[in-house]
Amino acid sequence: MNVLNGAYVVLTIASCAAGCATPAPASDSVRATTTLADVDGCNLLGKVIVADGPNAEKEARAETARLGGNVLLRKAELVWNGNAYQCPAAAH
């Protein structure tokens, strides 16, 4: 068992040395919209409620991603609260 653990560590280090990259946060792929038609045919996942402030956009996108969504339907242009949706990638 010790040999397997050692081999795993060596393999992990070698893989990272060959090109480890930190994946982009899931929130980077969240699209925000205020148009209801943009989420037609999508699955509603839940509400996204964040505090107003300089990080509202980042927090809203992160919360949408945490819920498993890829689209945030915002209540208004100046408001980052809304609903998280999972939409087919080909549709949007």
Tell me the pLDDT of the chain (92 aa) as tens digits: 555 444 454 445 444 444 444 444 555 789 999 999 999 999 999 999 999 999 999 999 999 999 999 999 999 999 999 999 999 974 44
pLDDT the model gives residue 27:
58
pLDDT of residue 22: 45
The C-alpha atoms of residue 71 and residue 62 are separated, in whole angstroms, by 11
Q: Which CATH superfamily is domain 25-91 in?
A: Hypothetical protein apc22750. Chain B (3.30.110.70)
Task: For residue 46, give every residue at least 6 positions away whose Cβ sits within 8 Å of its Cβ, in sequence order, or none.
Answer: 67, 83, 84
- Residue 45 pLDDT: 98
